[in-house]
Amino acid sequence: MSKCKVELAYQILKELHGEVVAEIARHLMKFGPRHIKLISEVTQLRVNQIKKGICILIQHNFVKFDRNKKGVTEYAINTDAVSLQLRYPRYIYCAKTLYGDAAELLVEELLQNGQSLMSIASERVTQRLNEALEATGNPKITSSLVRDKFGLLVKTHFLRRCQTVLTDDENRVISSEEPKETESLFILPPLEAGSKRKRNPDGSGPPSKRSKMEEMDIPPDDGVYWMINVERFHQYFRDQLIINCVNSKIDKQAGEIIRNMLRLSEIKTEPHSTVSATMTITEIFHSLPKELGMTKHIVEQYLSILTEDSVDVISKVCDSSGGLYVINIFKVLKSLCQAHIESFVQERFGSKCLRIFRVLILKKHLEQKQIEEYAMIPTKEAKELLYNMFAEHFITLTEISKTVDHAPSRTYYVFRVNIDQVARIILEKCYKAAGNAIIRRQMEVAKHKRVLDKQERVDAIIASLDQAGADEAQKEEIKETITPPEKEQLERCRTTVNMLEQSEIQTDETIFIIETYLYYSLLNTPIK
């Protein structure tokens, strides 16, 4: 596991769940699955603390547990899941753009709690929505509306059930696993009012939740816990990337065509396959919304442009029935990943280096002399540029000796670029950068803690005055307790924090593209 990624995960957890949880997580990330005693010995934390910490981690689906051969329960952490918290704002935003405010709040609710019951989540969201609606003077909505939204999110697979738990003979939960049929992850529980069931005596649901639930009313859907389905979100992001790629490479119309092609093939395409399912030109044409006003002729033209384009977005696989097309998902991802790498090279080493870098990608392997000729860069400069990139492992050098003595004068020195390797280097830098941004942001907040606290207190007072129906003058007076220099300080702090948060999200975009590319690339490397 990459060092920077562990560090990033640690920072994220520390911010959201405190030092103890982060410490336990870091320990698990470094050493792999362990049982509680061992964790406690090394981290010097009390067993009680560790238990609580692990509860939190399980609740958020970061930690899984299993009983080992000796009958001791061991805990294993999923570092990827932890670092995905960086992406939470994007999940929430995505739900909002697709399905509106209720969906946004539902996703937020589930992300905050890790897992939750449909009834409880819907109830809370209804409450929150109504509070907001009341404040703006709009009529309230019913919880069934929110529940419908929940159903929709499940139907579109953005939400899924949590893993099913396994119990031993004495009904103690020992592990959890994915159900065999993926479809069962997306079945909604019966939720008619009044159909309150008796609590299942064998109690399903994670242990952390159980004790809490016992004292409350037993909700109708007890035991069926939900979480967000990150894979579905990622698939959506991936499709969005492909569409954006076409948008900027060709134009908006072509982007629309691809959007519809993705929608068409969505269900039929195997998950993680390099190409989409096939579709005919007639299918594509009929799937396009009429408002676009594209004639079949234009669609045909766009398809031919897309097939001929250097990014290779789609391919024609067969000429029958006017042509069968597939989307080359992997190829687009590769081009995109490469574009991001190139962007990095350009910013870090300059445009001349980028030229050399691309010459190497296009021509596979070259000697320095050839590089100079292709890139039209004089020897001295080329040597320096090559060295700069070589020192950071962006290009590799292979010696091919003509003779056995490996004398330099009789040796070819061949330069190459290994895209996957470079992608990993940059990914590592991304983790580091995101971690640094978090550290810096926390420091900025801590530095201005006094003023921020003051601002909070003032806000609270004003809110209570509002409720008491105080007049403007009184409020104004309270507001003025924050002095102008303090205001300025607050303003500066706010922009700083904003900038840093922005970079965290932007860096995560780079992370997402590179991770997705590497994932596909790994899946599709033939095993030697």
Name which of 108 and 508 has its Cβ closer to another protein. 508
* Residue 292, token pair as written in the block: 């676009």
Q: How remote is the C-alpha of 498 from its chain's centroid?
A: 20
3-state secondary structure at position 368: helix
Q: Rounded to the nearest whole angstrom, what is the least distance from the CB of residue 335 to another protein in the complex?
A: 7
Strands 365-367 and 225-228: unpaired
How far is residue 272's CA from residue 264's CA, in Å, rounded to a whole number?
16
Q: Rounded to the nearest whole angstrom, what is the least distance from the CB of residue 494 to another protein in the complex?
A: 12
Region label for 393, one of left (φ > 0), alpha (ψ between -120 and 50) or beta (otherwise): left
Name which of 4 and 106 has its Cβ closer to another protein. 4
Name which of 76 and 497 has its Cβ closer to another protein. 497
Name which of 96 and 432 has its Cβ closer to another protein. 432
Q: Number of helices (H) and strands (E), helices first, in the chain?
A: 20, 13
Name which of 49 and 346 has its Cβ closer to another protein. 346
Q: Rounded to the nearest whole angstrom, what is the least distance from the CB of residue 36 to another protein in the complex?
A: 28
Residues 6+ away with beta carbon under 8 Å from 215: none
How far is residue 123's CA from residue 112's CA, in Å, rounded to a whole number?
15
Name which of 280 and 442 has its Cβ closer to another protein. 442
At 167, which helix (H) or strand (E)?
strand 164-167
Residues found near another protein in the complex (CB under 8 A) = 245, 248-251, 253-254, 298, 301-302, 304-305, 310-311, 335-336, 339-340, 342-344, 347-348, 351, 354-355, 358-359, 362, 374-379, 381, 426, 429-430, 432-433, 436-437, 439-440, 443-444, 496, 499-500, 503, 505-510
Q: Rounded to the nearest whole angstrom, what is the least distance from the CB of residue 493 to another protein in the complex?
A: 10
* Residue 326, token pair as written in the block: 């597939």
How far is residue 517's CA from residue 238's CA, in Å, rounded to a whole number?
10
Name which of 343 and 464 has its Cβ closer to another protein. 343
How far is residue 88's CA from residue 61's CA, in Å, rounded to a whole number?
14
How far is residue 464's CA from residue 461's CA, in Å, rounded to a whole number?
5
How far is residue 423's CA from residue 411's CA, in Å, rounded to a whole number?
29
The alpha carbon torsion through 458, 133, 106, 220 (nearest 10 deg) reads: 120
Q: Rounded to the nearest whole angstrom, what is the least distance from the CB of residue 487 to another protein in the complex?
A: 18
Name which of 190 and 293 has its Cβ closer to another protein. 293
How far is residue 406's CA from residue 412's CA, in Å, rounded to a whole number?
10
Give the angle 405-406-412 at the CA atoms, nearest 5°. 145
Q: What is the DSSP letter of 116?
A: E
Q: Rounded to the nearest whole angstrom, what is the least distance from the CB of residue 357 to another protein in the complex?
A: 9
* Residue 384 burial (CB count, 10 A): 12
Name which of 287 and 301 has its Cβ closer to another protein. 301
The alpha carbon torsion through 476, 478, 481, 483 (nearest 10 deg) reads: -30
Q: Rounded to the nearest whole angstrom, what is the least distance from the CB of residue 501 to another protein in the complex?
A: 11
Q: Rounded to the nearest whole angstrom, what is the least distance from the CB of residue 381 to another protein in the complex?
A: 7
Q: Rounded to the nearest whole angstrom, what is the least distance from the CB of residue 160 to another protein in the complex?
A: 28
Q: Which of 308, 312, 288, 311 is nearest to 298 (CA)?
A: 288
Name which of 16 and 458 has its Cβ closer to another protein. 16
Residue type, 490: L
Name which of 101 and 428 has its Cβ closer to another protein. 428
Q: Rounded to the nearest whole angstrom, what is the least distance from the CB of residue 134 to another protein in the complex?
A: 39
- Scan for tokens 């590179």, then name that residue: 514
How far is residue 74's CA from residue 174's CA, in Å, rounded to a whole number?
10
Name which of 162 and 437 has its Cβ closer to another protein. 437
- Calculate the alpha carbon distances from 440 to 152, 362, 443, 503 in Å: 39, 40, 5, 12
- 74, 64 contact by CB (below 8 A): no
- Scan for tokens 């080329």, then name that residue: 382
Name which of 35 and 352 has its Cβ closer to another protein. 352
Q: Rounded to the nearest whole angstrom, what is the least distance from the CB of residue 347 to another protein in the complex?
A: 4
Q: Rounded to the nearest whole angstrom, what is the least distance from the CB of residue 361 to another protein in the complex?
A: 9
How far is residue 388's CA from residue 34's CA, in Å, rounded to a whole number?
43
Q: Rounded to the nearest whole angstrom, what is the least distance from the CB of residue 95 to another protein in the complex?
A: 21
